Chains A and B, each alone.
Chain A
Amino acid sequence: MDPELFRDHVRSFEFWFGAVQGYLEGTSFGLRPGAPEPPLDAAARDALVTVLCNYCVGETIALEGAGALIRIAPNRPTKVFLSTQTVDEGRHLEVFTHRLAELGVADPEAEIAARANPKLLEFRRRFLELVRGEDWEAAVFAQNVILEAMEFSVFQLHARNADPRTREILLGVIKDERRHIGFGENELGRRIAQAPEVRERLARVRRALDPLVLESFTSTLERVGAPRQDFDELGRSYLQAVARLGFA
């Protein structure tokens, strides 16, 4: 099959509907009926609330970014894909906020503002500068490679030890994230192949931004009590993604 036809198809809403139907049909806020809610002690609940608040920050960044990037996307299939990603990110923000409410958080906005990791907020500020500057490659790199690749890893690592309800929500989000990281890598991989000078520019973006995301997600893993090897796995998984794009 011609790669262009394949890309058009998998970036379409038609494909997206068929994909999300498989794992979201019958769910409510990312949960199937009857998902158990085991009791959490106060410390575990507090740690989970902080983690979920920062997931909400990450998802808000991606929601704002994906939506804003539609305007500068280079062609129709890319605009359509970003519209599906925008929907995904809005859903993620909603399900994480809903989980906060289940945990007794009465004012999620205030709680998110109070518990947001400063490094993640700094990432947001710099990322939105790239979006406002209409720097397509840098913004896609920051969002779909740096942010999404780390979220993809952290959500998987967290899901291993999470309570059943949080785990089910995370597993649904991870399924969406596969499309987002694949889109970013493919989009940038082709552009770098056509214009190798793009790589050097993105390397500068990477040096500036990925420590911010890595530090904030490392903090997340600490809060959920992840074992030391999970920290290494987070770094390894992310480095594999950027290595495929030629960043040593």
Chain B
Amino acid sequence: MKLEEAKPTPDAGAAPEAESAPRRRFELDDRGFDEVPKKYRKFYRRWEGPGDALGPNEILCPVCKVVIRSPRELRPGDRVYCMACMARLRIVRGAEGSLAGQVEY
């Protein structure tokens, strides 16, 4: 297995909601998240609490409350992995219109 495959990239087979605009891409930097091997650290950051705002490429893991960061904009139907707690999440539109991660087992 190539370790690079473990990146929390959206699932290519997912069915995103109809959005015609191309997805924005993001350069990820290391935000000091030290709970996964070095090569994966840029894909995560700490959640700073209620005042913290998530970017369009970020989702909060509901299991361990770590922010997962993708190199491209996330949309409903995408799937991401949280390496900090080993959860597999499906991106959904939450009740308030924002994106949320739903655990898939």
Contact = CB atoms under 8 A, between A and B. Distances in A.
Contact of A185 (B7, B9, B37, B87): B87
A175 to B, nearest CB: 5
Interface residues of A, number: 31
Interface stretch (B21-29, B52-60, B62-70): B62-70
Contacts of B5: 1, 5
A15 B1 CA distance: 13
A19 B37 CA distance: 5
Contact of B85 (A8, A21, A178): A178
A10 B83 contact: yes
B85 A23 contact: no
A190 B105 contact: yes
B43 interface: no
A244 B62 contact: yes
A193 interface: yes
A104 interface: no
Nearest to A190: B105
B35 A9 contact: no
A74 interface: no
Interface residues of B, number: 27
B36 interface: yes
B30 to A, nearest CB: 11
B105 A178 contact: no
B40 to A, nearest CB: 8
B86 A19 contact: no
Contact of B1 (A9, A19, A189, A240): A9
A15 B64 contact: no
A182 B86 contact: yes
Contacts of A22: 34-38, 41
Contacts of B7: 1
25 contacts: A6-B6, A8-B1, A9-B1, A9-B3, A10-B86, A11-B86, A18-B39, A19-B35, A21-B37, A21-B38, A22-B34, A22-B35, A22-B37, A22-B38, A175-B35, A178-B63, A182-B63, A182-B84, A186-B86, A186-B87, A186-B103, A193-B105, A240-B62, A244-B63, A244-B103
Interface of B: 1, 3, 5-7, 9, 34-39, 41, 62-64, 66, 81-88, 103, 105
Q: Which 4 A-B pairs have the closest CB atoms?
A: A18-B37, A182-B85, A189-B105, A22-B34
Given A18-B36, A178-B63, A178-B66, 9 more contacts: A6-B86, A8-B1, A11-B86, A22-B36, A175-B34, A182-B63, A189-B105, A241-B63, A244-B63
